[in-house]
Amino acid sequence: MSKAKSNLQIDSTRLWNDIHETAKFGATPKGGVRRLTLGAEDKQVRDWFRAACEAAGCEVRVDALGTMFALRPGRDMSKAPIGIGSHLDTQPTGGKYDGILGTLAALEVVRAMNDAGIETEAPICVCNWTNEEGSRYAPAMMASAAYAGEYTTENILGRKDIDGVTVAEALDTIGYHGAEPVGKQKFSAFVELHIEQGPILEAENKTIGVVDRGQGIMWYDGVITGFASHAGTTPMPLRRDALAAFAEFVLVVEKLAKELGPNAAGTVGEIIIDNPSRNVIPGDLKFTADIRSSESATLDKLHSDLQAAIEEISKRRKVTIELNQVWRKEPTVFDTKLVAAVENASKELGYSNRRITSGAGHDACNLATVMPAAMIFVPCKDGISHNEIEDATQADCAAGANVLLHTVLSLAGIASSTNTNS
């Protein structure tokens, strides 16, 4: 990367305006966005995005699951393009940055190349993946999962929302049921810019997160069976209190995750007592747990330590604890060369940076199973996401887009005809 090239910048104001322009599609009174996948507002933003990509000289195609591919030609069209982008759908009470930053920054990268008169060797493909959020249709990240071969297209097309509308029907309704088979568009690499959705970059005052891993996830459903009895008449030593056993489980999850930190997280997010009453010792309850780590071996250890802990708790408290693993997703290891390219771009642009693990799932995590992939994080205020108050600064958004631009340039290569000093 030449010094001259590192002076190339995206247009920060244009990107910022695009983010706020598209936030009107599904704007909420509290300043957030409600843009459920394949709904009326999603059609509005898709139409805007298609027009903007076409205006930037891209050819836009749509696959059978509605994912949009905007191709900027390269000098050598025999090369598979560098994919960049993210998603434009939001949570029911989502923010203006989650997914949107990465998609609009990808568009801005193309515009910046256009403005600078840069031709790349390989083509560039700006992507808007369908249903990353999973709020209207399960699973989350369904289009990239299908792309990666985890589901068939037919399986995903048949999924229904809460009103019984299938993905196929919703795609037809908004006119985004594309002809192109899922997976036909090949990439030589994929790079996704995203807000961190966590507090680490902000806490450490770093501008860029060089994402080298994505956490693996284990989901559990649990049932504890003790014995419901009278709070006044049952002596403490004779109790078989399901809630007290649950309390120990919650603290064990926390303790194990802390001990294996910082590369582990453990959360109990749900508990329901059967027939709860103020003066009845809880006899039966259900709960869920979410355990994560960027290391498979750590997931294994957390799993076996949890089993040992519940066995001990069950025995001592004379209750039964069922803990069923209902999902396990292996950690994502992003491509070493792509991660290095992101890190180099950050350094050459002079942004403070650190390696980071993605705590959340992203389309890039699915794509990483079938191609070299990487991610770039920028800070978000207080680490808050999936919330209408989600916030990020114009400077950080621009920094992330600049890192994306220079990463893509290094991956795609600049055609010799381009004047890099322009």
Judged by the rule CB under 8 A, the positions of this chain that interact with a second copy are: 196-200, 203, 215, 217, 219, 229-238, 241, 243-244, 246-248, 250-251, 254, 257-258, 261-262, 264-271, 273, 276-282, 288-290, 292, 358-361, 383-386
Given a contact cutoff of 8 angstroms between Cβ atoms, the answer to whether 12 and 394 are in contact is: yes
- For a second copy, the closer CB: 211 or 412: 211
Least separation in angstroms between CB 228 and a second copy: 9
- For a second copy, the closer CB: 76 or 204: 204
Amino acid at 80: A
Using DSSP bridges, classify how beta strands 373-378 and 332-333 pair: parallel, antiparallel or unpaired.
Answer: unpaired
- For a second copy, the closer CB: 169 or 202: 202
- For a second copy, the closer CB: 43 or 328: 328
Least separation in angstroms between CB 151 and a second copy: 20
Least separation in angstroms between CB 255 and a second copy: 10
Of 302, 406, 307, give the one whose Cα is nearest residue 351: 406
Least separation in angstroms between CB 202 and a second copy: 11
Least separation in angstroms between CB 288 and a second copy: 4
Task: Indicate the burial class of 47 (C-beta count within 10 angstroms; 0-12, 13-18, 19 or more).
Answer: middle
Least separation in angstroms between CB 137 and a second copy: 16
- For a second copy, the closer CB: 33 or 218: 218
| Token digits of residue 317 | 């408290």
- For a second copy, the closer CB: 29 or 235: 235
Using DSSP bridges, classify how beta strands 68-72 and 124-128 pair: parallel, antiparallel or unpaired.
Answer: antiparallel
Residue position matching structure tokens 């836009």: 60
Sign of CA dihedral 139, 142, 148, 154: positive
Contacts of 57 (CB under 8 A, 6+ apart): 72, 110, 114
Using DSSP bridges, classify how beta strands 208-214 and 332-333 pair: parallel, antiparallel or unpaired.
Answer: antiparallel
Q: How many other CB atoms are there within 10 angstroms of residue 401's CB atom?
A: 29
